[in-house]
Amino acid sequence: MLLSLAWFALGTLLVLPFYLLLWSRRARLTRKLPGPTPLPFLGSALELGRGPVEMMTNTVRLWRQYGSNIYKMWLGPELFVFVSNPNHLEAFMGCHINLKKSVLYKFLFPWLGEGLLTSSGKKWKRHRKIITPAFHFKILEQFVETFCHNSEILLRKLEAHGNGPAFNIYDYITLYALDVICETTFGVSVHAQENHQSQYVAAVKGMARVIMERTQYPWLFFDVTFRWSELRRKQEQYLKILHSTTNEVIQARKHYRLLNPDSSFSVDDTGVKHKVAFLDALLTAQNDGEKLTDEEIREEVDTFMFEGHDTISSAITFCLRLLGLHPNVQDRVYNELVGVFGNSKRKSTYRDLQDMKYLECVIKESLRLFPSVPFYGRRLEQDMKIDELVIPSGTNVGFMAYCMHRNPDIYPHPEKFDPDRFLPEKVQGRHPYAFLAFSAGPRNCIGQKFAMLQMKATISDILRRFKVITPSNVVIELSWEVVIRAPKGVFVKIEERS
């Protein structure tokens, strides 16, 4: 009898917080919203399934099941409201008050600290103001040479597959993107394409896996449970490599600048000259005479590394796959490139990239179908009224880019690859929040011009050298990780152009 009472008391203590949560202000104000029924402790986490592939599939299923505008979902003790209506998105994302990122972004803090991606409030506004000049077109223009230098290495690596069977091109693009972002951010190369077994390359990939695994399992949301997991021990190993590498580069760069105050470039151990990197802009950046500290610089450098590596890899790879599936579109891009370069084999210039108008439409349409970041999130610091509904403070709001880009009311025949959707006359009149490849509003991607230049430079170099063919019988599987991925790879064939 006493044992039964003890079990009853324990069960009551465990379940009671769940029912109290369901009667909380957040629950009461959002009761009318559709969404799956939550379970104690887990909420509706089981609806997402296990692993990133099931998460991707089930996220789309839930979006279709509960309406394409707005629905709710409990993940453990956290309430999420998912929106994919452009008007709702504008209300949330265009707001200058609720700029704090959702609870899921806290998993990035151990690596990125409070960089532009994860910070909020006065610190975010201050850093955004300081860093924005680093993306001036005069600085971006000098990076075109870096894109071309590293794409030459990429093309040499791809030569081994010329006129051969299908191969996974994603790994090649990833290492190329890592070389570019290190060189443009640090001012030095990690030679990832030549030495893909390096500790730093492995640590970047490992840390991304840790972050994603934490988002999949509600019991790892809490630091107290994560602290005792094997995943945390792996995280510590990766962070030691990542942070020590960044700190060493920062100190070396500061020392070099001290000895060479008038130099506009640095020379690495191979004798290659590098122009001023983002790190240089951070070291000299000031706001009302106030400079960034070494820790703040490390946070922003790590943020550039994180945001400018996987996102670019995903975007370029999926664009190449789509071009391989649609030879008529690829021919049209190639003809544009012939118009820009003629028969010349010269490297691209900044002006050349500006002239690739149709290629830009192709890239945007590819990002519509496969946005590198399929989901963005905020945590409300104040109540917000949407239509007749009040979304209470403390709620996590998810912006469903992947799903919204497939809304037939916005994009007719949404599964069709049609770059003409982004011709100027077609874009005119479309809701400004109907395309979220680079987020939107005050917290939009600060590096979107840099990203577009790199994607144009890379894809144009590949298409000038090779014809890309995607086997039509290969079904692609998507996973929802830090960025959208194809876990089984993206397989294409390439043929040398005469």
Q: Which residues are annotated as a binding site for heme?
A: 445
CA distance 220 to 103: 12
Task: Find out whether 448 and 438 touch, Cβ atoms under 8 Å.
Answer: yes
> How far is it between the farthest Cα atoms of the chain?
90
Write the CB contacts of 492 (distance below 8 Å, at least 6 apart in sequence).
166, 167, 169, 320, 321, 324, 468, 469, 470, 471
Q: In what order do the strands lie in the sheet with 491-496?
A: 167-168, 491-496, 466-469
Question: Which secondary structure element, helix H or strand E, spans residue 120, and what is its range?
Answer: none
Grouping H, G, I as helix, E, B as strand and the rest as coil, residue 195 is coil
**Per the annotation, where are the binding residues?**
445
- What's the per-residue H, E or C state across 31-62? CCCCCCCCECCCECHHHHCCHHHHHHHHHHHH
Task: Find out whether 221 and 103 touch, Cβ atoms under 8 Å.
Answer: yes
Question: Which secondary structure element, helix H or strand E, spans residue 281, and what is its range?
Answer: helix 278-284
- What's the per-residue H, E or C state across 301-341? HHHHHHHCCHHHHHHHHHHHHHHHHCHHHHHHHHHHHHHHH
Q: Where are the beta strands (DSSP E) in 371-483?
A: 375-379, 384-386, 389-391, 396-400, 466-469, 479-480
Grouping H, G, I as helix, E, B as strand and the rest as coil, residue 261 is coil
Task: Find out whether 100 and 381 touch, Cβ atoms under 8 Å.
Answer: yes
Alpha helices, DSSP H only, in 23-132? Answer: 25-29, 51-65, 86-93, 109-112, 121-131
Structure tokens belonging to residue 369: 């179908």
**Taking Cα atoms as reference points, which of 210, 475, 451 lies closest to residue 310?**
451
Tokens 């509960």 sit on residue? 66
